[in-house]
Structure formats: C-alpha cells, structure tokens
Structure 1
C-alpha cells in the first residue's frame, strides 16, 4: 500500500511538472482606403491591427519556473504575402520570479513601449500612422512613413530581459550582436511605471548602421540613437497619451504625439495630433481620427481619417512642402 501511495504521488508530481499548453491565435484585418487626392482606391491589410497568426506555448517546469516559445507571422490579407514565417517574432525563453528572458527575433523594446503611448496603437490610414520609419528622416527606408520613429519594429538575434513588477516599476533590456565584424551591436533600455490610471515611461536605444542599410549598402548612414518619454492617464471617460522622442539619426529631430481614446457604448473614438521636426528645420503636422464599432468581442468595423500639411513623394522618397494631403478608409477586423 505504501509503495502504491508513493508511486501515485510521483506520478502526480510528474504530471504537475509537465503541464503545458499551446495556443493558436491571430487576426484578419481588411480595409478599403484612399490615401490622398490623385491616389487610387486600394484594399489594404492591417489598418486597425496587423493581420497575423501566432503560435505560442508555455510549460510549467515547477517551482515557479516556466518555459515559453512564441512564433508570430504578419501577412497581407489582400495578397497573402509574407516575407517569412516568424517575421514578427520567433523566440524561446524562461520566466519566473526573476523576471523573463527571451532569445531570438523579437519586438524592439523601445517600439513596444511606445505602443502604449499612442492612440490606436499607431494604426490608421496608410502613410499617416504615428509610429513608422519617420517622415523625412530616413530616406533609405521605404514602408509605412510615420510621424514618430519606430526605432525598428523587430530586432534579429535579440536577447531581452524583463524585470518583475516592483510596485508598478518595471524595466526591459535588449541586446543584439551585429554578427558582422566591425558593426556595432543593438542595445536598448526601457523603464516604466504603471499604477492605476497613471503610466510613465522612459526609453533609450540605438539601432546600428547595419540594421538600416538600404539595398545600395550606403556607408554614410550613421548609427541611430533615440530617446523617448511617455505619459498616459486614464480619466475613465477618456484615456490621454503623450509621447516625446529625441531622434539623433542624421540630425537632431524632436517629435511628439498627443492622443486620446474615448470609449462609447458601441466601441471607441480615438484622435491623435503628431508633429515632427524635419532635418531641414521644417516640421510636419499630422491629425488622425478614427472610430471602432464592435459587433462582438472579436469583430469590429472601423473608419479612419488622416490629414497632414506636407506630402511624401514616393518616387524620390522625400518630403514636398506646402501640400496638404488627406486620406480616409473603412474596414473590418476579426480576431481568433
């Protein structure tokens, strides 16, 4: 009888240590939009959230220690295109009372921090988003031109460590070796305080030249250094956000975003006003508005509007002055 009890206890302990789970989730987002006068009407994917699928898992190793993995792929719902599986993150790690450490391709901590301090998490009409490559500031990069710099959405070969929460305070450190002789390494530190309705954040990071080279492998592109400060407060009837960035890429450039999100019975209304000083001492100003109408917990309709006082010339990849551009779009988003 004693042997039976011991064997049963051993079996139960083994089962407890082996507890694990794997989840499959994601979202599909599609909109129809017109990004400016003279521009064609387009179907666009990812204007309320990314279209993506995610496979994630966690295993309880016992004693508060857990192993986890994460693979997320962003795709274009209108064309089905994806550059690669895991393009939005593919890492493995451990977590416990010490915090969490992950190794692989993951979001840049300074970009992840900024998401919490922008209205609608940077999304909106294509070309008007808050966080992007930076208007007039990164001529070597194409993509979604944002008023504020994203600092690089994801980082390859990155090791991140996140501390536990100490009475609202937490921090994340990111490091990625360049893996190229003579090129500097990526490094970033973010600190945040979140307690009740108040959130405050500080972040500083570098994105080395090797990560911002264009196809011509230009050698005069300097290391990118960026610092940011964020403040958010939830008043109940509305949540206000503020994000300031000091961008030292090419030339010192200051940018900020003021945002507000107002919950309503059927969804939410959001607005954002952004401004950025360009390299030639001019500035660009962007106003965005949006509305989300929730049909269920997983499905919502949305409308986006954006206007800026300068335009982006795609063929030359430069800003043109004194030419206001207005865009709008309507879409549907479903999460699973």
Structure 2
C-alpha cells in the first residue's frame, strides 16, 4: 500500500511539474469605430465593362460602424510546452470577426468564413530558431509592418496600398487568396532564424497539394531583415503559382490549378526611430510574370504595379503617438492609372489595454485606380475620396 501511495504521489508530482512548464493563453481584441467615406463601390475589384456599361462605379458616400480601424477584431488561443534543452512545442489558433455584426472572417475560399481564419499553426522553437506549420501570416506581412511608420494598419498604410495592387489585378476581396503577394498562406511551412548581430531571415514554402500538379497552388518566399540601433530594414521576395484560383466573374467561380507562375512581389523598406521621431520609406513591385499580353480583358489594368511609400511619426509620450504617410501607386503598363494617398492618424492609450484613435485620409485616384483608405470599404475607381475614422480598441 505504501508503495502504491508513493507511486501515486510521484506521478502527481510529475504531472504537476509538467503542467508548470506548459501554458495555454486565451486572448483577443475588439476594435470598432465610426467611419465616413465620401465615395464607395459595390465591389473591391477594378471596374470593368459589362454589356457596354461601366460596372462597379461610385455607389455614393457611406457612414457606418466599422470594425478594424487599426487591425481586425480577433479571438485566439496559444500554447507552449517546454521540451527541455531550450526547445519548446507551440501552437496558435487565431481568427478574425466583425465586431459590428458578429460574423467570422473570410478564408482562402470565395465567400467562405472560418472560425480560425488567420492562424492555425503547430511548431517547434529552440536555439535554431522557430518553425511553424499551417495557415499563417505570410512573412512579407510582418516585413511591411516593421518598415512602415503606420505599421501596416487597416487605415491608410502599406497594407491598404498593397491591397490596391490586388484589387486592381482582379481580386474581388471576398477571400484571402490574393493576386499579388499574400497576407495569409494556407499549408505554409515558415522558418524564422535567430538574430545574428541584428540580421535574421524568414523562409517560407507552401506546397499546393494539387493532385497531378506539383507546382499547383505552391508559394515560396524569403525575407532578409536587419534590426538594430533604431533601424528596421527588410527585403522581400515572394513567388506564387495559381495565386487566386477564381475566374473574373461575379460571383467568382473556381478555376482549375495550372501551376502557372502568376504572383511575384518584391519589397524593400526601412524605418528609423530616434528619440520619438520615426521616418520610413519603401519601394515595391507586384506583377504577374505569366502575363505577357499587357492589359487582360475585361479590366483596363495590367496587373503590374509599383508602390512607393513614405512616413513620418512622433511619439509625444508613452501614451500618445501621431503618424502620417504618403502612398503612391502606378500601373506600369497604363500610365493613366495612378494614385496618391495622404494619411494622418493619432492614437492614445487610456490604459495598458484600451486605446482610442482618430485618423483621416485623402486619396487622388486617376484613370481606373481605386486605392482604398481603409480595408474592407472600397472606394469609387478614378474618384478622389476622403475618409475619417474614430474608434476604440480593447485588448484582453
């Protein structure tokens, strides 16, 4: 009996010790505010001619409760277990939702929603770095945020300028499978190296899993980073096959995977911070390497764009920061399509978890360009547009 009792006690002690080295965290963010925008469009993609008439023109001004003035509202859980020797097993499940309606966010399939539509990863970390498997943010998304004074936020940033490259290339905005680059990738294997004197790298490969087509739906990318002495600098190369498997139709219909190399994005950006001042700049090119015919019908755009950005910010106190940015886009095969977006915003932390913000933007769209000011609210193509957003963000 004593032996059995001692064994049970030892087992309980071991289980307790194992539990102490593991953790699971539930977390989330709710971000909601009021938005006014002077023009709008029914769909995110560029205008096209249907039956001799222009489709997707100006639908008028809009005033709405808007989720995601800074970033989307999210809910998730993450956990880690100490494996010993400096190694750990990790998992993360994270999904976005619309705080205005309660709807869950989109995934890579057209019009389909998913509970954990942003991150579903399992991986291992240790002295070698970190490797994760599953749906996750593409490394290029972090690179854009790290080198933009406005942190690639949902209102007026490198993110919204990059999204415009996608809408102008035919992406309808009803899934997360972009035409140029990627915010999320399914089936992704991502390795992040340790930092060596400020230098690090992120490598990604995502097999497509298409039967009979080894290149079908594949993705690969490489990021080189430097961080030190107030400077963040990133270089990005992203390449994809069958970038968005949906035909140009409304609603979009699935097109078969061909293995076509049709998604290329390169980006060079830097941000420098000194005594509260921040300045950033970047250049990017996004294109379809397989498109050798210029402008694809029925759209009056080429799918080959340059993006130039500049930003300036100042942190007045630990609680208050003001940021501003200029975002220029140009269609390389149709000079009539150009746009400039000008954005300014301020955020103030009431507490460690609660933040208020105000931001405003103006975009000059020329030709058929439709650079948007806030993710999820398309602007009218070829029209100058003003937007103002006030909101509250709480982290838990």
Q: Structure 1 residues 210 and 320, CA, compared in 2 at 3 Å: closer, same or farther?
A: closer
The answer to whether the 8 A contact 1:124-1:305 is kept is no
Choose from 210, 232, 257 the match for 1:199. 232
Distance 2:166 2:340 in 1: 10
Which runs of structure 2 are paired with 1:202-217 in the superposition (5 Å)? 202-214=235-247, 215-217=252-254
Unaligned runs of 5+ in 1: 1-6
Q: Which residue of 1 aligns with 2:62?
A: 40
Q: Which residue of 2 aligns with 1:312?
A: 370
1:36-57 Cα offsets, whole Å, 9 max, x none, are 2531211110111220012000
Cα shift at 1:207 = 2.6
Q: Does residue 81 of structure 1 match 2:103?
A: yes
Distance 1:86 1:195 in 2: 34
1:23-74 Cα offsets, whole Å, 9 max, x none, are 1111100011112253121111011122001200010010111000000110
Which runs of structure 2 are paired with 1:168-183 in the superposition (5 Å)? 168-180=198-210, 181-182=212-213, 183=216
Corresponding residue SS for 1:68: strand
Cα shift at 1:217 = 3.6
Q: Does residue 20 of structure 1 match 2:22?
A: yes
Q: Does residue 166 of structure 1 match 2:196?
A: yes
Q: Does residue 55 of structure 1 match 2:77?
A: yes
1:234-261 Cα offsets, whole Å, 9 max, x none, are 0123111112111123543211211122
Q: Name the TM-score, length of structure 1 as normaliser.
A: 0.87
Q: Does residue 71 of structure 1 match 2:93?
A: yes
Q: Structure 1 residues 120 and 212, CA, compared in 2 at 3 Å: closer, same or farther?
A: farther
Distance 2:231 2:180 in 1: 23
What's the Cα RMSD here?
A: 3.0
Corresponding residue SS for 2:334: coil
Corresponding residue SS for 2:150: helix
Cα shift at 1:100 = 0.7
Q: Name the TM-score, length of structure 2 as normaliser.
A: 0.74
Q: Which residue of 2 aligns with 1:114?
A: 144
1:258-293 Cα offsets, whole Å, 9 max, x none, are 112211234111101000112512321101111112
Q: Which residue of 2 aligns with 1:329?
A: 389
Unaligned runs of 5+ in 2: 1-7, 40-59, 105-112, 289-301, 373-377
1:133-167 Cα offsets, whole Å, 9 max, x none, are 426632233269xxxx9722110010111111111
1:192-237 Cα offsets, whole Å, 9 max, x none, are 0111201111110113225353423457986110111111110123
Cα shift at 1:112 = 1.9
Corresponding residue SS for 1:129: helix
Aligned length: 324
Which structure's residues are more often strand, by fraction? 1
Which runs of structure 2 are paired with 1:242-257 in the superposition (5 Å)? 242-249=281-288, 250-257=302-309
